[in-house]
Amino acid sequence: MSFVDILITLVRNIIPYYYLMKWKEPKKKSISIVGISVLTMILISNLALIYGFRNPILFLIIVTIPSLAIFYLFSEYKDGRFLLTFSMVDNITAVIFFLVDIFSYLINIDKIVKIFLQILMLILIGCISKLVSKRYHELMTIKSSGWIVISALSFLYYIMLYAFIAYPTYIVERIEYLPIAILYCVLVIVTYMVIFRIMVLTKEVYKRKEKEYILSAQLEKQEIQLELQDLYYKMAYTDGLTGLKNRTAYEEKLDEIRTKRENVLSLWYISFDLNYLKQTNDSLGHHIGDNLIKSLANAFKEAFKNNKNIFRVGGDEFVVILEEDISEEELIKELENFQRVLGRYSKIIDTNISVAYGYSLFKNSEDNFDKVIICADKQMYINKNNMKNN
């Protein structure tokens, strides 16, 4: 092994290392690492030549140990990914240059031509390494326990390849083993093609799972947002005691009617007031008064079960807006049904639930909706006074 052979051996490994290794630092740092590695290995190689080491030991000393130590020190990955990259680079480049040596030996070409072929192989290795480096770095981002198994297989090939080709002497000196050696080299290349394909498939599966996880997280986030919106709506627009819509919802409904009054054909505005709530609270306690309010709310929900516009607008004040085109006779029938339902709830809680109400019709866009409200409230108060007097 001449100094030129040693130099080419160093370069053939350093080029793919430079592109395929994932460095801790950016390009400037990786360039300095390569420079240190080259100088170190050249120095060691000269010492090895001086002391006359045989080929296998010489290669181990000038390439394997220094490059393993230096590149491990500055590599970002220090697990199976590093070992796989290291052994794969050495295996593939060694196979390529071994085939060049076999070709040179069989046709007995000049040494200058052989060096020229080796330089062409270096250029080819550099181009391929640069071409696949981005994809290879993407594959390296997969966090998987499978790296240990793959790297162990690759490193086993690494040991077997050099033991087979270089021990006890270089394979070219044992011409009878060349067919087996070539077959083994082909096996090494095919194995790495399979490994690379497995890595690609693993990356695709990883990406698919990642997308599924992201999609699941987004859906979960949307569900949480919808739940929060629903909770916010309930907190903002629902009366805590009765479950009916509160005054905020009532005011928004009035604004909607005023804004879209041209689209309103007709509606009935009904104002309710619970009688004797203050007296009940003072004499029997607020919990009894709360039972009256909740029972009244349940009566509203049952009697007007298809109506979403039932509001508690005050402590004992309620409003029902019927957006239906019905006659006054039909409305009275609905109110009579409400009174029957209310009587049943009075029996359930064993307390009379007395309610006064008044209603007014908003028929077309020419009517003043505020006057409709005033009219219904006025009728309700008249009804309330009559009930007290009786």
pLDDT tens, position by position, 61-79: 666 777 777 778 778 888 8
Q: What is the CA radius of gyration of the chain?
A: 45
Q: Phi and psi dihedrals of 75, rounded to 5?
A: -75, 145
Q: Enter the DSSP assignment of 364.
A: S
Q: What is the pLDDT of residue 325?
A: 83
**Which range is least confidently modeled, 183-187, 343-347, 369-373, 383-387?**
183-187
* Encoded amino acid at 189, one letter: I
Please tell me the distance from the alpha carbon of residue 361 to that of residue 77, in angstroms, as a whole number.
79
Q: What is the pLDDT of residue 253?
A: 92
- 360 near 379, Cβ under 8 Å? yes
* Encoded amino acid at 259, one letter: T
- 51 near 80, Cβ under 8 Å? no
**Which range is least confidently modeled, 38-47, 162-171, 252-261?**
38-47
Q: Is the pLDDT of residue 318 over 90?
A: yes
Which 3 state secondary structure label does DSSP give 367? coil
What does the pLDDT look like over 78-126, one tens digit per residue? Answer: 888 888 888 888 888 878 877 887 787 778 777 788 788 888 888 888 8
Strands 310-312 and 267-274: unpaired
Give the whole-number percent of the chain exceeding pLDDT 70. Answer: 82
Domains and CATH numbers, the chain: 3-214 (no CATH), 247-389 (3.30.70.270)
- 321 near 253, Cβ under 8 Å? yes
- 351 near 330, Cβ under 8 Å? no
Q: What share of the chain is helix, strand, coil (3-state, %, to 5)?
A: 75, 5, 20
Q: Is the pLDDT of residue 354 over 60?
A: yes
What does the pLDDT look like over 167-225, one tens digit per residue? Answer: 666 666 777 777 887 888 888 888 888 888 887 887 777 778 888 888 888 888 888 88
Q: What is the pLDDT of residue 53?
A: 46
* Encoded amino acid at 338, one letter: F
Residue at token pair 């009617």 = 257
Please tell me the distance from the alpha carbon of residue 119 to that of residue 100, in angstroms, as a whole number.
11
Q: What is the pLDDT of residue 49?
A: 52
Q: What is the pLDDT of residue 150?
A: 81
Q: Determine how many CB atoms are found less than 10 A away from the CB of residue 180.
A: 12
Sheet arrangement for strand 267-274: 310-312, 317-322, 267-274, 355-362
Alpha carbon distance, N-terminus to C-terminus of the chain: 124
Length of the chain, please? 390
Please tell me the distance from the alpha carbon of residue 229 to that of residue 217, in angstroms, as a whole number.
18
Q: What is the pLDDT of residue 54?
A: 47
Give the whole-number percent of the chain exceeding pLDDT 90. Answer: 25
Q: Give every CB contact of residue 90 below 8 A, 6+ residues apart in sequence.
A: 13, 63, 64, 158
Distances (CA, A) of 257 to 110, 247, 371: 99, 15, 13
- 342 near 355, Cβ under 8 Å? yes
Q: Is the pLDDT of residue 366 over 90?
A: no
Nearest one of 228, 88, 244, 70 to 153, comparing CA atoms:
88
- Structure token pair of residue 37: 């590695």
Q: What is the mean pLDDT of the chain?
A: 81
Q: Is the pLDDT of residue 383 over 50?
A: yes
Mean pLDDT of 25-45: 60
Please tell me the distance from the alpha carbon of residue 312 to that of residue 266, in angstroms, as a whole number.
22
Q: What is the pLDDT of residue 71?
A: 76
Cα three-residue angle 82-167-69, rounded to 5 degrees? 25
Which 3 state secondary structure label does DSSP give 320? strand
Please tell me the distance from the alpha carbon of residue 279 to that of residue 323, in angstroms, as a whole number.
34
Q: Is the pTM of this model over 0.75?
A: no
Residue at token pair 């006054």 = 328
- 191 near 157, Cβ under 8 Å? yes
Q: What is the pLDDT of residue 311?
A: 97
- 270 near 321, Cβ under 8 Å? yes
Q: Is the pLDDT of residue 28 over 60?
A: no
**Half-sphere exposure at residue 316, Cβ-oriented, CA atoms within 13 angstroms:** 21
Q: Is the pLDDT of residue 240 over 70?
A: yes
Please tell me the distance from the alpha carbon of residue 315 to that of residue 169, in angstroms, as a whole number.
103
Mean pLDDT of 322-326: 87
Q: Is the pLDDT of residue 27 over 80?
A: no
Mean pLDDT of 273-292: 90
Q: Is the pLDDT of residue 159 over 90?
A: no
* Banded pLDDT at 339 (limits 50, 70, 90): very high
Distances (CA, A) of 344 to 198, 337, 349: 74, 11, 9
